[in-house]
Amino acid sequence: MATIKWRDSYSVDFEELDEQHRMLVKLINEMFIIVRNNEIELPPIHQIDELIHYTQEHLNFEEDLLEKAGYKLLAHHKEVHRTLVNRVVELKEQIKNNTEEMTSELYSFLRNWLTDHILKEDMQYRNCLSAAHERGIL
């Protein structure tokens, strides 16, 4: 499996969110490279904890921004976020016991979730953020 490559199609046209999404890509890729190259003993719990922490900060920032912008699908978006965090925490617990196999599953899950989430869910709020920015709300 390859690392994630940032594409312009992932941009939500809001620089701070794009930067945070790029950081998530970087953290997910770093974890994958460490595991692939056997640079640390498995499981890479520290890297997973760092990723979970950053992800939660990002999701909170994104949700606050969407609330200020008046995003109508915010409740659904928050639920999608909660589902992600719960699944990553579940996988982390499984990794403590099954190391390599579960670490690969976590990377695959995160890789697919991030790209799908940005391209499907996050693109839905793109116009709302743009309109809020134009009105001076953001």
Would you say residue 4 lies in a domain?
Answer: no
Residue 100: the pLDDT is 61
Would you say residue 25 lies in a domain?
Answer: yes
> What span, in angstroms and rounded, lies between the C-alpha atoms of 35 and 41?
8
Would you say residue 10 lies in a domain?
Answer: no
Kindly state the average pLDDT of the residues 56-61: 96
Kindly state the average pLDDT of the residues 82-94: 87
The domain containing residue 40 runs over which residues?
A: 15-134
Percent of the chain with pLDDT over 90: 54
- Per-residue model confidence as pLDDT tens digits over 16-54: 999 999 999 999 898 888 777 776 655 677 888 888 899
Domain count of the chain? 1
Would you say residue 5 lies in a domain?
Answer: no
Would you say residue 1 lies in a domain?
Answer: no
* Identity of the amino acid at 20: Q
Contact by Cβ (8 Å): 26, 105: no
Position 97 confidence tier, pLDDT thresholds 50, 70, 90: confident
Would you say residue 9 lies in a domain?
Answer: no
**Residue of 3, 130, 7 whose CA lies nearest to 70:** 130
Contact by Cβ (8 Å): 31, 48: yes
Maximum alpha-carbon separation in the chain: 51
Would you say residue 63 lies in a domain?
Answer: yes
**Residue of 53, 62, 51, 58 whose CA lies nearest to 111:** 51
Would you say residue 28 lies in a domain?
Answer: yes
> Taking the model in full, what pTM does it have?
0.88
Buried b (16+ CB within 10 A) or exposed e, 1-30: eeebeeeeebbbebeebbebbeebbebbbb
CATH number of the domain encompassing residue 116: 1.20.120.50
